[in-house]
A and B are shown apart, each in its own frame.
Chain A
């Protein structure tokens, strides 16, 4: 079936919905999502969204910019970071005007709290910058944006899974979508296409990410010759609820929670003497790994996040969701007992490279792919560099979702439809036929599980060359076995087995790109910690990597980092 829209938005999390609100003000817009929009993983974000509102204490966008740059281990592009931090207050007010139910100060202002890596006066002490709705800020952002889309009459195609990008002579002009309810393929012809498809945390076994986060957008773009930037930087959030991996928000520490090892020691005092438990996530995750490695983990497996001294009232009021998770899933009441936690695969700093307007870059010289945009976790603009600070992701999706939506509207008003190539859904049809027809004794679930467990072991918080090389070898074997996965379901209606198998193909691609980039970068920076290259090397590695898929494997090129206000310094907290 054929559809024509000026702007086509893929993904209905915060970035996609924000883009939709703005694009649809100017041009005919459609949003395609493999889930119902309110199921998107923006809804799982807990702690808050950053803006230097200074509602409770002095704060400035320059301080926010400094913290974000330092948090990124100086790999973030400062031009983009400055734009985001300057825009943050206005955007947070805009969310409030849309109806977002922020917690309030006694004066009725938006409430703010401290978060990891956010400081006053360039690193002196934690600052209250994270605007929040209890510990369900992402849920409220997702709901609020969806509500506004309904108000504005935005067109949605729910449970349409985008499986291919259409281009003609270097211009992106549509997507191919699989309608999950019927198994039919749809061709969406557009003037502009935005990917806002989220992350790929399902590459790892211990993750805070939803089952749906299989990196579809990244894999599709990469298959079309578009590079993926900085894929070696994947954030492991320090506090995943053991043994499930569910996110326990950093707001627990923002509200005063403390990490303790098996001896009851507040070990972050040793690793980050100034801001202790509120150090950035990469440092806290490494510290937890080291504590466990050195025999100070509980049962050798996890550490404790202690909130018992906060009192019942504060936990019920400020952290009700995570209290519920602990009680429901592991029978621990955080009012009474500490929570068992372990670093959990959480957030892709890397992704489809874009400029500030959301335009996708095709190379290290900043040349764009006309008609193609990306925003949110699947994009790499790059404001997070080598390590994202907490509460900057909700800000990222709002800011860059908006600007991408505006840019799409403008581009679509100024340009005509580029004709589709003949049989635009042909390659998809063929690929799905191959999946359906494959025979053999392999199971997608088994291959996925092997990938997830080995990636956790070899390419997670700490990496070193022999382990990464073994993993790349194994991933190639898994790719080979993937061709022999036999599907039981040959039907058309909600064939989720077929889609899961297709998604596994994306995950395998992205695991290989991640491992190849991790092997290539012979330094330690932010979330990328090489045991064999333990220090940061600005002389050789202060640059973004761009990974291309080729027939002979992953080819890596580079892009310069934008450094404007803050020169790289040693990163201490």
Chain B
């Protein structure tokens, strides 16, 4: 196409010159020229060309451009890719990603942000824009000061909420402190032309950018409190969701807690302790059978602090587990209990305490004598609960994530529930706070040597630390081979963190993954079966220096996995059973066989 006065900003003389020049240019000369002109604009120079080695280029110093697209039918994706090429042709550094593919936490690292998005249905973001859209509209959205942006939105004007997603993002980015590089353009079905006009205008704006501006980072120094087990940090709940899909027998909570300002540090493999609180309904039930007034005050520590009985039973004392010592201690307050203890042996006592709680004890051995404070003084404090951390702090600087299986069962005619897990499930909303501390675990750590192969074996919530491991490896770009064995009940509903493993597999952060879903097939399949199926390769990994990690249920899974490992070593290494034991013990001594089982 040749330039005319009517289709360009030049006069006839310029047009003639340009039209004579353009047909003679090679592709690389054209690209060079456009880059040169853009940079000339930057430096505000007159357009004289110094003779230079053209192969060297004359790339203007620019900020990095990030193009994010939200696309349902592929139009925006295609446009975004086209724009990327156009901008690269003028020597801009450009990254083009689906909105799904940028980690929300990286959004604050972008410099110049171009958004190309469609609107879906009744004003909704396209599927692949949803996560980022929600993140930007959540209270976790970071400040975007210093970011410059422009939005191109595609839509269909026959819809009520025409280009709504583009409008929302445009508004939100401004609210978050980003500055608008060029006004948003809303396109109807015939988007091609306005889209091109938009990118041209954006290109011009980007070209005008002055070279560098380094604002001094303002150092914020805050008074730091040291948090610890004795002084737990009240962490705000940022996210709390059930990882299991519909139809599952399980409920596994994924919690994200805010550690900002706590100074707490942790490493993959560490655990987080939570101070839980008892279920208020159970407290009421206990008060009822105790026939005591919940508003009475009782001392709760040696310093003489007092709380109401109701509050003490809820937040201080363990009311859900019984023990032989507890029975013995409380027998001074119940004649029938004293008598029963005299008549029964240790086995019977153990049988009694298993699966029963304080409500059972109080009911079964009424009446009780003495004062409220006498009774309460015999109770122990609620024990903290420890959970393997499911996140890497390097990847989530101000957060810690947990994977908690909600425990519910029926025993002795009553429904019972795990104190902390069901608190997290039923009585912990986003915005609530949990008292937490980090419990270091030096026995469950990634290899110190980078690039070491690792085999990770876990069932159910036992998969949590491996999420931390892989986040860490991704963040530190540790390219060591990794192999994950995961087991649960059903593929469809119980594949915890499924999409995250899938994306790590496709990125190569995770090398291999094998899964066993025990209730999907007639014959039950567990992780140990998958290990045995891969016997030869597992042994090769061991010989290649792999670290083996096992996390989860101790009684069944960890034992079966250990037997499978012994079988593999024996079979593939031609060892006797004893030699295989020695081999595994050696691995353990070398810290190459680590377990976090419970």
**Binding partners A and B:** no
Binding site for A on B (CB under 8 A): none
Binding site for B on A (CB under 8 A): none
